[in-house]
Structure 1
Amino acid sequence: MISLKAVNHFHIHPMFWFLIGVGVLTGSLIQLLIIFSIVLFHELGHYGMARYFNWRIRSVMIWPFGGVLETDEYHTRPIKEEVLVILAGPFQHIWIWLFILFAESTELLSTGVIELLTLYNLLIFCFNILPIWPLDGGKLVFLFLSVYLPFVKAQATFLTLSIVSLFVAFGAALMFFPFSMSTILLACFLMWENRIEWKQKRYAFLRYLMKRQQESQEHVKKIRAIHVGEDMPIMDIFRQFKRGTHHQICVTLHNQKRALIDEGECLYYFFTLKQTRAKAKEMVEWFAT
């Protein structure tokens, strides 16, 4: 049984209501209702898996050809857990395809509806695995990059790839498919989302660091040494942090002596003591006293 709290998590983006209005005026309401049903079922996959892992969920926003699971759990949970939550959405399209086969064999639905279900199920699946933020394919690419690259570098690399992929996909859509107002609106919406994410990438990085300080890192098994000079600013040290890794900062002083600082101490010095412009040497001296 679906709880009232679960229902309250789901919201529909204003753009979808706009397209519903267009559908009523143009006679394409059935197509839009089919799209809405597929998108909702897709997002229920993400939502159900996130609830299974006891994620804190703010909301689920439904918009044309996709949705967004709003949560603060990304970047703090085990990587396998995040992968399962991301893949749970695309996996729903398999169940939809099996339902289509059942409905076709039993003549439960008309041929026209079956054809629309088949087409939109495939289109929405393919659309959501594109390497574009905030689609599922984009989240998987970013997750992969953040394992092998420092978070900041993975962030910049991915957003650049996302914007390039968006232009390529939009150009291909205009080249191979008829002009569509829905395609234009969708491309503008995704570009806006990428623009916002690019402008807020510094704040996203700070949230990532704050989560590293607040949340338990028991699931982290890798330990990595970061070698820095005594004059390196604390933010430059943080820019070398990777997902799924606990860091030990090895500071080389001018007298050639070395000091070891744990990443937890660095985060404490930055967030709790509010020494946001500190350098490595200052941390060494503070923790030595």
Structure 2
Amino acid sequence: MKIRISWWWLPYGILMLASNMWKSALFLLLVLSLHESAHMMAAKAFHYEVPQVVLYPFGFGASILHLGHGSLWRETLILLAGPCVHLVVPFLLIVLVKFDLISITYANYLEQLNQSVLLFNLLPIYPLDGGRILLNFLHLFLPYCCGLWVNYALSVSLVLYLFHETAVLSFQIVLLFLLFQQLLSWLFIKREKEQFYYYRYLSAPKRIRLKHPFQDCFRAFYNVIRFEKEWMQEKAWIRRYFEKEDLKKRKQSHQIML
């Protein structure tokens, strides 16, 4: 597992020290690290690979390989593992108050901070946990790419609405960061689709077979796809897709050479 340190550490650390908010920042670092650790442990329990961990000023982010490509119910449990940590935090604060490590007033403040982080994380905005859970729900009914497009469109709409409604500068900055993440996701949607198809080709589910005319795969089913007046098994269709993409790239390369 690789560990990478984000460059955001330096300006964020200077800002926190200058504003005398290092105690709150340390609390957020601890809570969000526990949050991400819960995601990682749940992912490991379901045999997902975690190739990289990025250290941010507000915690660390785990890169879970093929999260969003596999079993809907397993991945929903992985996504819910993080928010569940926030339900334990109040009991930890009670223990700290009992041993006179923090005051009741400060414990109440930290609990409000914890609740705010939990509620924000559950907003149906990609790539927050709430947005990823919404995507799993959409993939119960929609093909893979269609689910992505609908999820991104809903996320962007909600971010723009919240940005218009709030006057808090720090919240607006976070929303702009999320909007930037969504725009990047839109740009790389083809790569995401190909990673999903590659995953499905290696480990297609053996569950209910679904016959449909969409030139795409449903995550929740084994797909039998109508293609050029014949029904194709999922693996055969994916193989055909990559052959066509490879041929297209070769043609483009040939045109550039000419």
Under a length normalisation based on structure 1, what TM-score does the superposition of the two structures give? 0.77
Q: Output one character per residue of 1:40-94: Cα deviation in whole Å (capped at 9) or x when no partner.
A: 1111111111122221112233546676431222233322210111001000011
Q: How many Å separate the matches in 1 of 2:147 and 2:207?
A: 20
SS in 1 for 2:139: helix
Q: 1:237 aligns with which of 203, 215, 232?
A: 215
Which residue of structure 2 aligns with residue 287 of structure 1? none
Which residue of structure 1 aligns with residue 31 of structure 2? 38
The reply on whether 1:15 has 2:1 as its aligned counterpart is: no
SS in 2 for 1:109: coil
The reply on whether 1:205 has 2:193 as its aligned counterpart is: yes
SS in 1 for 2:140: helix
Q: How many Å separate the matches in 1 of 2:76 and 2:143?
A: 19
Q: 1:223 aligns with which of 201, 206, 209?
A: 209
Contact 1:66 1:135 survives alignment (8 Å): no
Contact 2:38 2:85 survives alignment (8 Å): yes
Q: How many Å separate the matches in 2 of 1:150 and 1:186?
A: 30
Q: Output one character per residue of 1:190-228: Cα deviation in whole Å (capped at 9) or x when no partner.
A: 1111110011112211211121112x224x41211124x
Q: Which is greater in Rg?
A: 1
Q: Which runs of 5+ in 1 are unaligned?
A: 228-235, 254-258, 279-289
Contact 2:70 2:219 survives alignment (8 Å): no
Q: How many Å separate the matches in 2 of 1:135 and 1:65?
A: 15
List aligned pairs for 1:31-180, cutoff 5 A: 31-63=24-56, 68-174=61-167, 179-180=168-169
The reply on whether 1:276 has 2:245 as its aligned counterpart is: yes
Q: How many Å separate the matches in 2 of 1:63 and 1:106?
A: 30
Which residue of structure 1 aligns with residue 225 of structure 2? 249
Q: Output one character per residue of 1:128-177: Cα deviation in whole Å (capped at 9) or x when no partner.
A: 00111110000000111112111111111100110111122333432xxx
Which residue of structure 1 aligns with residue 236 of structure 2? 265
Contact 2:215 2:227 survives alignment (8 Å): no
Superposed CA RMSD in Å reads 2.4
Under a length normalisation based on structure 2, what TM-score does the superposition of the two structures give? 0.85
Write the letter of the residue equivalent to 1:169: L
Percent identical among aligned pairs is 20
Q: How many Å separate the matches in 2 of 1:247 and 1:152?
A: 14
Q: How many Å separate the matches in 1 of 2:212 and 2:237?
A: 12
Which residue of structure 1 aligns with residue 256 of structure 2? none
Q: How many Å separate the matches in 1 of 2:177 and 2:48?
A: 27
Query: Are the structure 2 counterparts of residues 188 and 251 from structure 1 closer, same or farther at C-alpha, using a change threshold of 3 Å?
Result: closer
Q: Output one character per residue of 1:78-135: Cα deviation in whole Å (capped at 9) or x when no partner.
A: 2221011100100001111211122234433233531332121111101100111110
Q: How many Å separate the matches in 2 of 1:39 and 1:103?
A: 18
SS in 2 for 1:247: strand
Query: Are the structure 2 counterparts of residues 56 and 208 from structure 1 closer, same or farther at C-alpha, using a change threshold of 3 Å?
Result: same
Write the letter of the residue equivalent to 1:79: L
Q: How many Å separate the matches in 1 of 2:75 and 2:90?
A: 25
Q: How many Å separate the matches in 2 of 1:184 and 1:252?
A: 49
Write the letter of the residue equivalent to 1:109: I
Q: How many Å separate the matches in 2 of 1:39 and 1:277?
A: 42
Q: 2:184 aligns with which of 193, 196, 207?
A: 196
Query: Are the structure 2 counterparts of residues 105 and 169 from structure 1 closer, same or farther at C-alpha, using a change threshold of 3 Å?
Result: farther
Write the letter of the residue equivalent to 2:240: Y
